[in-house]
Amino acid sequence: MDPYLSIVIPIFNEEENIPALWSRLSNVLAGHFSDPGKSWEIIFTDDGSRDRSLAMLLEIAKGEPRVKVVEFSRNYGQHSAIFGAFAEVRGQIVVTLDADLQNPPEEIPKLVAKVEEGFDVVGGWRQGRQHNDSFFRTMPSKIVNAITRKTTGVFLHDYGCMLRAYRRNIVDAMLLCKERSSFIPALANSFAKRVTEVPVAHAERAAGTSKYGLWKLINLQFDLLTSFSLLPLQMLSVFGVITAAIGFLLFLGLVAYRFVHPEGTAQGVFTLFAILFFFVGCQFVAFGLLGEYIGRIYQEVRDRPRYMVKKVHQAQ
Ligand code: UDP
Ligand code: MG
């Protein structure tokens, strides 16, 4: 029989966290989801870990048939890992969470209750966000939040929190999206009718370090900016029109100046350089942005798989 609740957890080099995660998670599940009508399954994706994570997960799965481990062939990133697990879910309600215990498993029943109330997507809203996450980690999240709000038109306080619950049909809809760069919280909202947030506790990373370097974050940023809207391209055109207009006015001004001061000198040259450099910079940004869209089109037309599953492990 299909379970009621599916829990999805991406794992990348989390050997220090797995034992605590498993014990806290199994406590919560035993406490809240023990009747037969509320059965559960857990799907771990091992996203190409290079430490003992996979071995530890397999050890857990050996003794517990409700645990499934999706083994990736290499590291494909958190969101691909979640998709890899989504492909395996069978529950009616799907909850995602991070393995590093920043999202307390004890909050899961609260999210599930909200879905039962009738919401399609329930996001966690991290309270007391740990600001000893480095500056490079918190600052980009703020930008991510702001941009996602704009581009998806759904107001949520916290798009970055991966402790989230979805009704199964939302997950199925997301699985139909073949584009390779998908920011799951934003994607989910584009299919949901009723979205809400519940405050959840937020802890420090229990052990290990964040798997997000600055570069991965910049990548995520581009994903968001380009996969949900054409707004950046439209802004480029608007900017082009405005600068062209300014340039034209400047030209008129210079002509007029020539008439008033026919002996006019070349003193404006350096100002002109400054202006020129500014616009050259803008052009590079514009090219980069265009290139970003074209690169993404290229990736989409190649239509390679988003990830490769080496094996799905489950005890019988
Ligand atoms: N993760 C993953 N693949 C990656 C990077 C991260 O599966 O390439 C997992 C990681 O094991 C954790 C979750 O995604 O369970 C969130 O990662 P992390 O805590 O490093 O992100 P942060 O909390 O800094 O956003
Ligand atoms: Mg974390």
pLDDT digits over 282-303, tens only? 888 888 888 888 888 887 888 7
d(CA 103, CA 113): 17
pLDDT of residue 92: 96
Cβ atoms of residues 13 and 211 within 8 Å: yes
Distance 50 CA to ligand 1 centre (A): 14
How far is C-alpha 36 from the chain's CA centre?
A: 34
Q: Whose CA is nearest to atom 6 of ligand 1?
A: 78
User: How does DSSP classify residue 35?
Assistant: S
Q: Whose CA is nearest to atom 23 of ligand 1?
A: 210
Cβ atoms of residues 81 and 11 within 8 Å: yes
- 125 strand-pairing partners: 199
DSSP run (H or E) holding 142: helix 135-152
Atom of ligand 1 nearest to the CA of 209: 20
Number of H helices, E strands in the chain: 10, 8
Pocket test for ligand 1, best of 100, 129, 141, 211 (most atoms within 8 A of CB): 211
Pocket test for ligand 1, best of 13, 18, 98 (most atoms within 8 A of CB): 98
The residue ranges of the chain whose pLDDT is under 70 are: 129-137, 140, 144, 148, 151-153, 180-181, 228, 264-270
- Which ligand lies nearest to the CA atom of residue 137 in the structure? 1
* Pairing status of strand 40-46 against strand 5-11: parallel
Atom of ligand 1 nearest to the CA of 11: 11
pLDDT of residue 140: 67
Q: Whose CA is nearest to atom 17 of ligand 1?
A: 211
- Which ligand lies nearest to the CA atom of residue 211 in the structure? 1
Q: What are phi and psi of 90, to 5 degrees?
A: -125, -10
First to last CA, the chain: 14
Q: Which of 128, 159, 137, 133 is nearest to 146 (CA)?
A: 159
Instruction: Write out residues with Cβ below 6 Å of ligand 1.
Output: 10-12, 14, 47, 75, 77-78, 81, 98-100, 102, 137, 205, 210-212
pTM of the full structure: 0.79
pLDDT of residue 264: 63
Q: Which of 7, 3, 58 is nearest to 28 (CA)?
A: 7
Residue listed under structure tokens 């391209």: 233
pLDDT of residue 301: 85
Q: Which two tokens stand for residue 298?
A: 């290229």
Atom of ligand 1 nearest to the CA of 12: 11
Q: Which two tokens stand for residue 180?
A: 């390779």
